[in-house]
Structure 1
Amino acid sequence: MKIRKMAIFMVIVLVLIFTLEAAAQAKKINNIGQYTFARVRGKIPTPEVMKMLVDRYAADIKTGFEQAGYGFLYEPFINQLKTAQFEDTTWNIGDTVKWMLFRSHGKVKVSGELEWAGKKPVEVFAVKVKEGYKTYTFIIPKPCGNIAFKDMVEEIPEAICSLKVSPAKANINDPITVDMSGTQFAKSMKVEIFDKQGARVASKDLTPEGAKWQTKLDKPGEYVFKGSAINLAGKPSANPCEGKVYINYPPVAKVAPSCTDCTNMYGKPLTFDASGSSDPDGEVTRVVFELQDANGQVIDSFNDTEKPFTWEKTLYKEGTFTVSTTAYDNDGAVSAASEDSRKSFTVTRKKFFGLIELGPMLAHGGDQYDLPSYALYLYLRPGFFYWINPDKVSLTMTAGAGLPLKGDPWKAIIMAEMLANFHFGKVYLGIGPGFTTKELSSLYNRKSGVDAVGQLGITLFNNYVRISHLFFEFRAPIGRNFEDHHKMGLGFRYCF
């Protein structure tokens, strides 16, 4: 009983195997035209075939593709059929198709695999449809217009690398844009940066979705950007793919002040010379000067666009100052700060002057002595001038001689004085003690003695190293008769 059941089971298995093998084998056909999908009589030109298939049978084509499990190819097939190149060829004996659309009792049907077993090849139109990297070949037998899927070939194209780098010339730390968006048929890309010595300084992996990269280079010189692309099969691109960028050398700024110990240079022009600034691979086109005080506050600046790049500046302030320069080249690069581009200097004002003053003076005579009311003297007094508080308070000390323009009984006199001068703009008032010897002999009751001296003057000229004054002076005696001993005069003072 068991043997019988086993035998029956084996028979069933063998029947199934033969059935599956038979089903797996292509069905051989030797005639065509009985179950036509779209009747095509004769060799109708390809454009008419396309129009007929698209306009009249689009819905049936969609139904057939979906039944065959190729619904995803419907739209590419319909769209590409409008412009595809139809090839006149043959379906040769022994060749197969994977499936074929045909019509039976008015309904669209899909066959399995078919093999042509007729007596001679069948004339067909062949058309190719692309979807992604796959090319599908369809044939349409001319006698019946049925659509048959013949085969599919997957064609993974070589990756074509495209690399654009901009700008071609830039300054240090300027943004450099790498663009590989023009690369074709790649699943990934890579760019590498090499310096002039061939050393790799940077690299970046990119994708078709993120094909751009922005970077910076912090050293001058020439750089080569090399790109590569990998296709879907993992094969690198073979076409040349590189770009070059030149990073501009920045200029070098240098400045030399006309003095660093600028004694007595208050109010006098100073020169800051930046003509020594240079550029290794171009030319300096602009220099910006900046002047700072001891607290680091910018008090003035100057933008010079003409060679030889010098700045003349007059300072009306004492102290320590710093002049710094920044150079710009013809590509817009900016110099870095250095010891040569920044110099300090000290400005002082002249406070101590030698002086000489001279002028006419009147000494009182008197009717009681049978003398004229006043006698005319010419005096000359050397001395010094000192600023206690510049432009506000000064001190003068002078001593000299006065000579009468008439002879006996008038005598030459010696004068000296020390005055504190208070300045109000160009006008000043000076007061202080003085001394005068007697201008007449003892017969006339004249005595040497101390005077109270006053001056009212005006500044004629002051360039801070030379000063001149014009003044009126009055000398009043102290401890002596005013009527006999007072004096007055005009004077010119020159301080040097």
Structure 2
Amino acid sequence: MKQVVRCWMALMVFVFVASGAYGETVIHKLGVRPFWKPPLKSVTEFRTMIQKSLPDLKKGFEMANALDVFEVFVNQGMSSTPEEILVQPGSKLQWMIFKDGKKVKLVRDAVWKGKEPFKAYRLKAEHQGKQYVFVIPWDCGNVSLEQVVVLPPPPAPKPAPAPAPAPPANQSPTCHVTISPETVFTGESIVVDASKSSDSDGSIASMQIQVKDADNRTVQDLKVDKPPFVQSFSLNKGGNYTVHVTVTDNKGASSSQPGCAAKTVRVNSRGRFTADAAVLYQDDPATFLPVRIGYEWRFNNRFSLLGMVGMADVIHGNDDSFSVLGDLTALYRYNRFFVGTGVGLWHSDRNDRFDFILNTGYMFWGDPNDTNLSVFVEGRSAFDEFNDLEKYGRIGGGLRLQF
């Protein structure tokens, strides 16, 4: 009889006592049949329990027909921090895993009927649209399922915003360039003016000038990046040059045609070698055959200075002998005509003369800025012989070659 009483008292202090009134398992005390010993005192010990009892945990979840959430529980327990709670008397659990010795067991529909609340960890894990709420008492580590909450469906994704309209394509600038003058002498300025260029959807940012010679070699490369986009340059060697101009807008688009079409600039040398031969007649009488060579320096297209040296042989008469000449003449050109005046030295064995010279001529072949041939008339007289101009003055004409 005493043995029966002892068994009955042992059952009263067991963790689980079946209540026949409602079909629930009433729990009055924790720690009698613990799943884990010693009690859990920290999250670290909670995670240690999970790591070291994986087979038993899996067995318990299998007994609870919840094997599909076993991995979810383990992963959530190892990666997140559970909530510390107090489980109040009267709280219900759908199932609880515990151990009877070393054997894993499970009880369903458990109710805490202890006098005081107990401390526990609450862990939430989501799986297939449901949230599983687990409770793990600190004293025994009995993993329990408190409830399963059906999660509301996720909100429908917001429609992707309509793509922003593509910005309009950048329009190339409109190029308008003037180059002046198009014919210059070496050292004279050539002005490139792109100030009237425009851009319909922005502004002009820069102008690039590239100058190439007749062999297509770049001799100058200039960039202007400030308004009004006007730039001058000069060239020191004669020849034909091609000027290429490009304007670029503030977005990097460039334009070179048609307003910036390449233009040819002619650069003329200021100096040109000159040679001539003439026949001069003097009434004294004498006929001379002067032959000269020299160099003409042009200040511009109209005015130049011609210096020549040479000799004059007497081909008829005996008024004078073989002579040496040195002349300096200022010339004025108009198209193919030219007139000139100057002074000269006429030296011979008989006399030295300081002459006043007048001449005029016409270029009948070639170009003023290239090789050309002219016919000219010249008259000259010594300054001290003006009173005897008819007798000692020399007048004639000849051919002049420039190259």
Report the TM-score when normalising by structure 1.
0.48
- Where does residue 181 of structure 1 map in the other structure? none
Say yes or no: does 1:395 pair with 2:373.
yes
CA RMSD of aligned residues (A): 4.5
C-alpha separation between the residues in 2 aligned to 1:373 and 1:297?
56
- Where does residue 340 of structure 2 map in the other structure? 356
- Where does residue 76 of structure 1 map in the other structure? 75
C-alpha separation between the residues in 2 aligned to 1:313 and 1:374?
49
Secondary structure at 1:325 match in 2: strand
C-alpha separation between the residues in 1 aligned to 2:241 and 2:370?
22
Q: Is the 8 A contact 2:247 2:256 kept in 1?
A: no
Q: Is the 8 A contact 1:138 1:150 kept in 2?
A: yes
Could you tell me how far 1:302 is from its partner in structure 2?
A: 0.9
- Where does residue 100 of structure 1 map in the other structure? 96
- Where does residue 53 of structure 2 map in the other structure? 60
* Structure 2 residue corresponding to 1:86, chosen from 66, 84, 87: 84
- Where does residue 318 of structure 2 map in the other structure? none
Secondary structure at 2:248 match in 1: strand
Larger RCO of the pair (alpha carbons < 8 Å, separation 6+): 2
C-alpha separation between the residues in 1 aligned to 2:132 and 2:401?
114
Q: Is the 8 A contact 1:266 1:318 kept in 2?
A: no
Q: Is the 8 A contact 1:394 1:420 kept in 2?
A: yes
C-alpha separation between the residues in 1 aligned to 2:38 and 2:180?
104
Q: Is the 8 A contact 1:401 1:412 kept in 2?
A: yes
Secondary structure at 2:162 match in 1: strand
* Structure 1 residue corresponding to 2:231, chosen from 311, 314, 325: 311
Say yes or no: does 1:265 pair with 2:184.
yes
Paired-residue identity, %: 14
Say yes or no: does 1:337 pair with 2:255.
yes
Could you tell me how far 1:149 is from its partner in structure 2?
A: 1.9
Q: Is the 8 A contact 1:62 1:74 kept in 2?
A: no
- Where does residue 144 of structure 2 map in the other structure? 148
* Structure 2 residue corresponding to 1:31, chosen from 27, 31, 48: 27
Classify 1:88/1:414 alpha carbon distance in 2 versus 1 (closer, same or farther; 3 Å): same
Classify 1:361/1:126 alpha carbon distance in 2 versus 1 (closer, same or farther; 3 Å): closer
- What whole-Å deviation, never above 9, does each CA across 1:239-280 have from its counterpart, x for those lacking one? xxxxxxxxxx667353421448x3x43544221112234566
Residues 112-127 of structure 1: matches in 2 within 5 Å? 114-116=108-110, 123-124=117-118, 125-127=120-122
Secondary structure at 1:100 match in 2: strand
- Where does residue 326 of structure 2 map in the other structure? none
- Where does residue 420 of structure 1 map in the other structure? 401
Q: How many residues align?
A: 301
C-alpha separation between the residues in 2 aligned to 1:103 and 1:385?
129
Q: Is the 8 A contact 1:324 1:341 kept in 2?
A: no
Secondary structure at 1:53 match in 2: helix
Q: Is the 8 A contact 1:58 1:78 kept in 2?
A: no
Q: Is the 8 A contact 1:88 1:123 kept in 2?
A: yes
Classify 1:306/1:118 alpha carbon distance in 2 versus 1 (closer, same or farther; 3 Å): closer
Could you tell me how far 1:146 is from its partner in structure 2?
A: 1.6
Secondary structure at 1:410 match in 2: helix
Amino acid at match of 1:420: L
C-alpha separation between the residues in 1 aligned to 2:124 and 2:47?
14
Q: Is the 8 A contact 2:27 2:112 kept in 1?
A: yes
- Where does residue 358 of structure 2 map in the other structure? 380
Secondary structure at 1:192 match in 2: coil
Could you tell me how far 1:392 is from its partner in structure 2?
A: 7.3
Secondary structure at 2:227 match in 1: coil
- What whole-Å deviation, never above 9, does each CA across 1:330-374 have from its counterpart, x for those lacking one? xxx123326465144444567946241432353869xxxxxx556
C-alpha separation between the residues in 2 aligned to 1:356 and 1:393?
20
- What whole-Å deviation, never above 9, does each CA across 1:60-119 have from its counterpart, x for those lacking one? 2552235412441353244246x32212133646x441x321011233x1426x113676
C-alpha separation between the residues in 1 aligned to 2:218 and 2:365?
28
C-alpha separation between the residues in 1 aligned to 2:263 and 2:199?
26
Classify 1:92/1:50 alpha carbon distance in 2 versus 1 (closer, same or farther; 3 Å): same
Q: Is the 8 A contact 2:121 2:138 kept in 1?
A: no
Residues 204-243 of structure 1: matches in 2 within 5 Å? 219=168
- Where does residue 443 of structure 1 map in the other structure? none
For structure 1, the 5+ residue unaligned runs are 1-25, 42-46, 160-184, 196-200, 202-216, 221-248, 366-371, 424-496
C-alpha separation between the residues in 2 aligned to 1:358 and 1:118?
136
Amino acid at match of 2:246: T
Could you tell me how far 1:293 is from its partner in structure 2?
A: 7.1
Higher Rg of the two aligned structures: 2
Greater Cα offset, 125-134 or 293-302? 293-302
